[in-house]
Each structure stands twice: as structure tokens, then as C-alpha cells.
Amino acid sequence: MKERIPYTFELAVLKYPEETKDLISIIIPIYNTKELYLREALDSVADQTFDNWEAILVDDGSTDETIKKICTEYAEKDSRFKYIRKNNEGALLARKTGLENSRGEFIACLDGDDAYHPQFLKKMFTKIKDGNNDFVWCNYEDLAGKIKFSMGTVGAEDCRFSENSLENCRNIGKFLTNLWNKLVKRSIWAKILFLQANCICGTDTPKVLQIIYYSKKAEFIPDRLYLYRFSSVSSVTFSDSLKQLRTVQYTTHIIVVYLLMKRFFGTDEAELFLASRNEFRNYFLLSKKAIIFHKIEYVANFVPAFLRGLKKTKNISFFKKIVLILACKGCPLPFIFFHKAKNTWLAIKAGLYNYCT
């Protein structure tokens, strides 16, 4: 079967080709965010101890008129806030619009319902400048203070950036696959290919992968400088149809990552990478009807690539991977090691699982 490439990618067209030295452009996509959360996010920007910033508020076609009122209020009060309203196309293309209208030497991201620690910009700026880094990333915590997140078992001393771009891309997880805990040179962002699609979830990984690929040097800051509203992204808040769409989009986003890896490193490495990504198991949650309804019939073309990658994988047995796939489909095989995976995916089906972007 000939592999079809169903996606269109585009580079951002920068409105201001000449960047402003030492300026940080903060891109904030907004869609019907609660007033309390949005004000908390914008106040956290205004309260930064580092003041050389601009905040680009991209209203992604919100139906709540309160959004326009709040954004206009902040823009009138402080000229560093820039308000842009566009048609609804999803957070992915909202960030593209923000990038196209940025002036800064560096790009930061903030979700409209999250917040920054008062020293987020100062500490990130100091680290990226002093270390001559292409990007820096930091720890984060729950905005409500109920959950303490970290890099897990990876300590600051282990978060080194290799000179081998393939190794870095393979280890994307150690950098965290989120945009909002990073400060990146705009010259790196300008190289990123944006998928031309309305996506509501799973949009960060393809961009972070490209940032890693084009970067030569990066450093980790162990401080918890980003405040993430974990409870607000619970899939329980979504309708059944939207939960199904999220599953579709988590499937398509890993295929996009596969296509990028193939572009960067060739088919063999792309297949190995595809086989190592747990997100591809979302595919096996989709019914044939759902695949056709969401017009992703072409996803079947990537199943052979996935299986070839499994066969090439050395560190995890092919059999164990297949059992994990069967577990995703609810097959009652009596092996302890896949019970957790099975329960996780059953929870996703029931809408009881928390996703992080």
C-alpha cells in the first residue's frame, strides 16, 4: 500500500522580520476562558519582575463577549498587551497567529487559564542568555497547590542537551512535551512547520519535537515557575462526541510526529519512534465508523509502519507490545503487566481520565 501524506504544513509568516533584542513575546491563545481564570493569567504577566515583554492575546473566535471586554481592558491599561481576534481554528493556529505578530527575540507561551510565577520571565531569560541557549525549560506545579509536579526521576543534573539531534528527539519526554514551560528563541520558532488543521488537543508535541531538532543547546531550570490549572483539563468536562474527537486527534498528532521524524531522520528511525510512543494506542480505541466519520481513513496506512517499528525495537519485546495493544481493545488476557494500561484506556473511554496538553 502506498503511504498517503494527508496533512498540509505551513511556516509562519512573520509580520516583523526584525526581532527586538531581549524582548520576550508571550503568546496567549484564548477561547471562552472563565473570566476569573483569564484575569489571573493576565495579572500574572503584569506582575512579572522582568518587564521587557509583550503579551499577544489571541482570541480564537470566542463566543463569550466577556473575553473581548477583558482583553481590551488590559490592552488599554498596559500597551504591552496586544489583542488580536480571529476566526475559530483551534489553539494550534492561534499560536501561529501569535508568532506571526510577535516582535521579541524570545517566545514564551501561556495558556489562558494558567499563570506564571512572578519570576518566570526573569529566571528563564537569565538562563537562556547566560548559557547562550536556544531554549530553556522549567518545572511546574498545580495552580491550586494540590499537586506538585516535577520532571519525575530526572534530576536537573541529568537534563543535559546532547549534541546528537536524533538522541534528543528520541528523548523528547525528558524535556516535557509542553510549550508553556519553555522559553525559546524566535529564530527557532520561525523554522517550525504548523499543521493546517483545527486541533483542540495534542498540539504541543509536534512543535516541541521541531524545537528540539533545530536547537543546539538547552538547559533545565528545576524551579517550579509555571502554574498549571490541572483540574481544568479533565476530560469529564467534555461531551461524548468531543471525547471521541480528542481520541481522534491524539491519534493524528502522533502520526504528524511520525511524518516529522521521517522528514528529519528517514523511515527506519520514524518507525522506531512511532513504535515507542504510547499515544499510538489511541488508534485501537477508534471504531471503523469513527475513523470514517472523522475522515482519517488514511490512518490505516500507518499501522504497517507501527508494526515494523515494533519488530525493530530492541529494548521492549514485540509480544509485550502486542499484548498492550490487545489490552487497549479490552481483551481479557491474564497478564498482570498490562492491567494498568487496560484500566487507563477503559477510563479514557468512560471519560474519567485527565489529559494534559
Proportion of the chain above pLDDT 90, given as a percent: 49
211 within domain boundaries: yes
170 within domain boundaries: yes
Lowest mean pLDDT among 110-114, 134-138, 257-261: 257-261
Q: What is the mean pLDDT of residues 231-247?
A: 52
Residues 214 and 291 in one domain: no
Residues 33 and 176 in one domain: yes
For the ranges 24-28, 326-330, 337-341, the one whose mean pLDDT is highest: 24-28
Residues 171 and 303 in one domain: no
Residues 306 and 194 in one domain: no
Lowest mean pLDDT among 45-59, 97-111, 175-189, 308-322: 308-322
- The per-residue pLDDT for 333 is 43
3 within domain boundaries: no
- Threshold 0.85, pTM exceeds: no
Residues 240 and 344 in one domain: yes
4 within domain boundaries: no
Residues 141 and 155 in one domain: yes
Buried-exposed string 213-232: b where 16+ CB fall within 10 A, e elsewhere: bbbeebbbbebbbbbbbbee
Which pLDDT band, with edges at 50, 70 and 90, does 152 fall under?
Answer: very low
- The per-residue pLDDT for 281 is 65
Which pLDDT band, with edges at 50, 70 and 90, does 173 fall under?
Answer: confident
Q: What is the mean pLDDT of residues 16-27?
A: 97
Residues 304 and 172 in one domain: no
Proportion of the chain above pLDDT 70, given as a percent: 69
Per DSSP, the residues of 139-164 read: EEEETTSS-----TT--GGG-PPPS-
2 within domain boundaries: no
Sequence letter at residue 352: L
Using the predicted structure, report yes or no on whether residue 224 has a pLDDT greater than 70.
Answer: yes
Q: How far is CA 135 from the centre of its chain?
A: 15
Which pLDDT band, with edges at 50, 70 and 90, does 236 fall under?
Answer: very low
- Residue 152 CB contacts under 8 Å (≥ 6 apart), including other chains: none
1 within domain boundaries: no
Average pLDDT, the chain: 81
Can you give the residue range of the structural domain that contains 340?
A: 235-350
Q: What is the mean pLDDT of residues 278-292?
A: 65
Residues 110 and 121 in one domain: yes
Residues 203 and 260 in one domain: no
Which is nearest to 199 in space by CA: 92, 292, 293?
92
Residue whose C-alpha cell is 481520565 = 353
Q: What is the pLDDT of residues 77-93, one digit of tens each?
A: 999 999 999 998 888 89
Are 85 and 61 within 8 A, CB to CB?
yes
> From residue 238, how far is each of 5, 242, 301, 351, 354 by CA, in Å?
30, 6, 29, 8, 11
Residues 80 and 202 in one domain: yes
- The per-residue pLDDT for 312 is 81
Using the predicted structure, report yes or no on whether residue 134 has a pLDDT greater than 80.
Answer: yes
Q: How far apart are CA 56 and CA 242, in angstroms?
A: 28
CATH number of the structural domain spanning residue 87: 3.90.550.10
Residues 76 and 211 in one domain: yes
Residue whose C-alpha cell is 510577535 = 102
- The per-residue pLDDT for 253 is 80
82 within domain boundaries: yes
**Structural domains in the chain (count):** 2
Using the predicted structure, report yes or no on whether residue 60 has a pLDDT greater than 50.
Answer: yes
- The per-residue pLDDT for 53 is 98
Residues 227 and 239 in one domain: no
Which tops the pLDDT comparison, 292 or 223?
223
Q: How far apart are CA 115 and CA 48, in angstroms?
A: 11
